[in-house]
Amino acid sequence: MSTQISSASWQGMAVAAVVCLVAGQSVLGASWPFNGPFGVAVNSQDVVYVAEIKAKRISKFTPEGRSLGTIEKIEGYGPLVGPFDVHIGPKDWIYITDCFGHNVLVLDAEERLQFALGNGIKGMDPGQFSEPHFITTNRAGEIFIADTFNARIQKFTPDGTFIKAWGQIGKGPGEYLHNGYLARVDVDGKGFVYVREFDGGRIQKYTEDGEYVATLSKRGVGEGELDEGYGLTVIDGKLYCPDTFESRVQIFSLEGKLLEVWDPGEGDSDNKFNHPVDIARTSRGDLIMTNWKSDRVVRLSKDGKYLNGWGRSLEGLLQWKPPVRVKRPTRTPIKVSIYAGPDDDTLQKSKKHGVDILYASLENQYRDMGISHIMPKVVEMGIEVHPSIACWPFGMGHPPSSVFEEHPEWCVWKKGASGPIKTILSWAHPGARSFRADAIVRQVEMQGVQGVMLDYIRYLGTDYGYDPVIVNGFFEKYGVNPLSLPQDDVRWMQYRADFITDFIVELRHKLALRLPDRDIEISAYLSSGDPDPGVYLQSTMQDWLTWGKMGIIDKVHVAWYTRDLDQIYNAVRKTREALPDRVKVNSFIACYGGNLNTPELLRKGFEASLAGGADEVTIYRVDAIRELKLWDAIGEIIADVDAGKIP
């Protein structure tokens, strides 16, 4: 968004009207086309507000699912960019985190803009945000915002004046894992603040002034443990926690004691949950919950029983057809692969059903992966193993490498930080690049694998890569201090991106030098999102198109963990059309995570991938394949691919 907005600039402004695009008062929500429903809130009149991040709107309904219109464009602000959460505070005021716009909006009960927080770009100063996810208020109207990728909570007065912030990247009390970013924040009736980590599994409790009180949970999949997830809402003196990736709801006391678990199983029927995110209560005591992956909203009774729901249906997905089929530039057979380790059960089932490649996620990136003893058996089965190497957090492992303490100068810096992040290695420092490359080459040589998949081969965002070696090098080359530039300055982004290219060149050279008789495939994983090369460069400084043109990678993995078949098709098509013919395109599709979780949907994922021009299709991931009992369906799909029945 080009217009920059600060809270100060809104003080004293006349109240502006919100443009509300009404979908029609008589429209029933049963077929409402939700697209990324995350946050949900209910006002005193039982109007349900749902934040749809992909649809770029706030949708409104009755608790029965009748549409009451949408909020999409706000006078004095403009169109919503990517709203993640909506909250109803005192006087029925409406609070919206426009996540991708890096702003927070405050509207009155009539949906008129009162003020906005943020300036529209990522920043670390007070009142600036980096993709704020959730928001809440206390009884006094003070505002608490989960400033997600700055790993902090920001607190404001009711009129938007900054009070304080707390939190940072780390593992201790009051800190948040860099890969366990802040999710939901809420406040109880006594003013205690509860913050959930998405991936860390922790709920941390604070006073309203940010003083740490306790940690109430830990990471896990057992009852009373939290897996990857967003949800945490204080309702009737209890913590209701939609445990997103376990498709269940767990209810705790405010001291962290487990009280109830609602676990009907993952699915798309009315009595199942599919990746619930947020939950809110109506005046009658019913509960409204968003189901992210099935693009649905459901109403539950106080004890978790289904009452009604609305949103997308599966029938439309199963009728999907590609607009045009992209011709593959190679005549080599299409391969089918699985994201899985080479355990005996996976190997036997892969051989039985015709799987070609296993992409094995192995935590010991820089130590012995421990699979060399089974590789002769794997080769005899005709299956290849390509370890998935997480390059960005390289060296963390269990136990972590001592490299972070021995070489702090090798560690990455975030913009505005007073020191390096001692769990992430720099891309720019020659010693750090060689540490990664040498470890990968050594493991390929020892284990006997046929390729490596470079995962997390990027920066976490444009606010990373402010290492002294990079800042000083840029100044020496261009005579400009990059600290004076916007973090998304094109020349500054390209300069940082080139260091990743240097790493892949070094890895390719060392593999050829050490293993001249083995043709080791190097592939690069693209995170989900629009694969447009410019978009990727702007968001993660990943210059994959250059890697393909230089010939330093053999394959690109396009990942869309979704059930949106148009997104899968278009991502593969765009990548295929951009790359030289010699570079293969692999479409990563997921039965995991509530996506293509039925045989019929999985088949449609293959159809979308191959229509887009994929040379390979990978199913993510083996634990979901087992849980959903999809092995036989995969065998049938592979047989049809080999026979040309899925063109």
Which domains, from first to last, does the chain contain? 317-642 (3.20.20.80)
- In tens, the pLDDT along 426-482 reads 999 999 999 999 999 999 999 999 999 999 999 988 999 999 999 999 999 999 999
Q: Write phi, then psi, for 446 (nearest 5 degrees).
A: -75, -40
CB atoms within 10 A of CB 522: 20
Q: Which one-letter amino acid corresponds to residue 589?
A: I
Q: Which one-letter amino acid corresponds to residue 356?
A: D
- Give mean pLDDT, residues 572-596: 95
pLDDT exceeds cutoff 70 at 17: no
3-state DSSP call for residue 266?
strand
Average pLDDT across the chain, whole number: 91
Confidence at residue 271, expressed as pLDDT on a 0 to 100 scale: 83
- In tens, the pLDDT along 362-416 reads 766 777 888 999 999 999 999 999 999 999 888 876 677 888 899 999 999 999 8
Confidence at residue 179, expressed as pLDDT on a 0 to 100 scale: 63
Kindly report the pTM of this predicted structure.
Answer: 0.80
- In tens, the pLDDT along 236-288 reads 999 999 999 999 999 999 999 999 999 998 888 888 999 999 999 999 999 99
Are the CB atoms for 643 and 607 separated by under 8 Å? no
Lowest mean pLDDT among 144-148, 511-515, 533-537, 593-597: 533-537
What are the tokens at 29?
């929500």
Confidence at residue 535, expressed as pLDDT on a 0 to 100 scale: 84
Confidence at residue 28, expressed as pLDDT on a 0 to 100 scale: 55
Q: Is the peptide bond before 399 cis (omega within 30 degrees of 0)?
A: yes
Confidence at residue 103, expressed as pLDDT on a 0 to 100 scale: 97
Q: Which residues pair with 59 in a beta bridge?
A: 50, 70
Confidence at residue 396, expressed as pLDDT on a 0 to 100 scale: 77
pLDDT exceeds cutoff 90 at 24: no
- Give mean pLDDT, residues 324-345: 92
